[in-house]
Amino acid sequence: MENQATTVINNSSIQALQSVLRYLKNTFVGKDEIIDLLGISLLAKENTFLLGPPGTAKSAIVRLLSECIEGGNNFEYLLTRFTEPNEIFGPFDIRKLKEGELVTNTSGMMPEAAMIFLDEIFNANSAILNSLLMALNEKIFRRGKETIQLPALMFIGASNLLPEDEALAALLDRFLLRVKCENVDPDLLDQVLLAGWKLEQRNGTPTPKINPDDIRSLQKQSRQVDLAAIRKPYIDLVRTLRNTGIKVSDRRAVKIQNLIAASALMCGRTSAILSDLWVMKYIWDTEEQIEILAGIIDQVIEKEESTQAHPQAFFNKRPNAEELMKEVQTLKNKWAAGNHSFAEQNQIKDKLRYVQTRCNWLQNRTHKTHLEKEIESLWAVMLQY
């Protein structure tokens, strides 16, 4: 597939975006995955959802990314159950209201922003939900007779928890990419403290910039990426995920192509290659699906032969033997509970395959041998059915 990857020559806009992402990675230690995915989302003009506890730098990363977009307005808001439409979209213009016209004063509000960050997004109430869904899906704000085309480059939502309410599940569906944000590895704590101290002491230090118009140009260019080489494996992968019980609607299947194309363009290619399917690891609906997706997709992209793959495509987090053993025990208990549908059985098996793959990365031979025996024992039980 190497000869199918065409390099984009002298693309200063891509170089500017890559420079911004490098700056963010140097500033936020251990957050490369999140930052690269925000870059992909920006190129694809798709929305990203960040899941994680407070203090994991979600807001800070988005804020600094917004600062690097030259001349672009940033809108950031912490939603509560009592947030009113005026707080997000702007109040009615009083002067126009006296004349009998309902016109929204959007100055400094979300409808004028290039980068939009909505924290605790699942606190959205019914008063703002419909307008928010339309803004996220169609980049349009509609109120009464007003229809405003939003200049938003992308929306980023964040929350500590996933929604349980069906109406809020529709809100999550509007975020194509989902990223779990956690505290960094304790081994990196020294670097985190040093980087955080430097961030506090910036004192107006210049940051790399990219123009919003350059980003919009890249978004259009992303739509021109040739996906022919990955079309069949992509269709096969969507079918596999559906059979496993992971929901991939036709609408989402179409939109995921934007992420694949963005991965190619970020690497300076005008054609997608097999490893660009790595972005599909981040389309989960539940935390339980994270490892299942990783296992399925890693098995597909490991066949990649090109040297032009995105750096995140083959990034593997160092496995922990104790955590893997807990996973095996959890899967054993789930299987023993019985009464599983065919799709649920496949989910358990796929997760076990992923744990088995991760087991190969263990350095301690004793731990590895013990885990392999436990996994083989569980497979023997499963194969009886």
Nearest partner of 273 among 296, 253, 294, 303, judged by Cα: 303
CATH code 3.40.50.300 region(s) in the chain: 9-200
Cβ neighbour number for residue 17 with a 10 Å cutoff: 23
The pLDDT score that the predictor gives to residue 91 is 84
Cβ neighbour number for residue 12 with a 10 Å cutoff: 9
Residue by residue, pLDDT tens for the chain (385 residues) are 344 445 544 488 899 999 999 999 989 988 999 999 999 999 999 999 999 988 888 999 999 999 999 877 889 999 999 999 899 998 877 676 666 667 788 888 999 999 999 999 999 998 899 889 999 999 998 877 788 899 999 999 999 999 988 878 889 999 999 999 988 776 777 877 887 777 777 766 678 999 999 999 999 999 999 999 999 999 999 999 999 889 999 999 999 999 999 999 999 999 999 999 999 999 999 988 988 898 899 888 988 777 788 888 877 555 678 888 988 999 999 898 888 888 888 888 878 887 887 776 676 778 888 999 999 999 998 887 6
> What is the rounded distance in angstroms from the CA atom of residue 283 to the CA atom of residue 201?
37
Q: 241-299: per-residue pLDDT in tens? A: 999 889 999 999 999 999 999 999 999 999 999 999 999 999 999 988 988 898 899 88
The pLDDT score that the predictor gives to residue 3 is 42
The pLDDT score that the predictor gives to residue 30 is 87
Nearest partner of 261 among 229, 238, 285, 289, judged by Cα: 229
> What is the rounded distance in angstroms from the CA atom of residue 255 to the CA atom of residue 301?
20
Parallel, antiparallel or unpaired: strands 48-51 and 154-159: parallel
Cβ neighbour number for residue 4 with a 10 Å cutoff: 16
Helix then strand then coil, % of the chain, to nearest 5: 55, 10, 35
The pLDDT score that the predictor gives to residue 305 is 72
The pLDDT score that the predictor gives to residue 369 is 87
DSSP 227-248: -GGGHHHHHHHHHHHHHHT---
- Report the CATH fold assignment for 9-200: Rossmann fold (3.40.50)
Contact 260, 234 (CB under 8 A): yes
The pLDDT score that the predictor gives to residue 204 is 63
The pLDDT score that the predictor gives to residue 327 is 87
> What is the rounded distance in angstroms from the CA atom of residue 116 to the CA atom of residue 152?
7
> What is the rounded distance in angstroms from the CA atom of residue 102 to the CA atom of residue 143?
9
The pLDDT score that the predictor gives to residue 10 is 43
The residue ranges of DSSP E strands in the chain, in sequence order, are 48-51, 74-78, 115-119, 140-143, 146-149, 154-159, 177-180
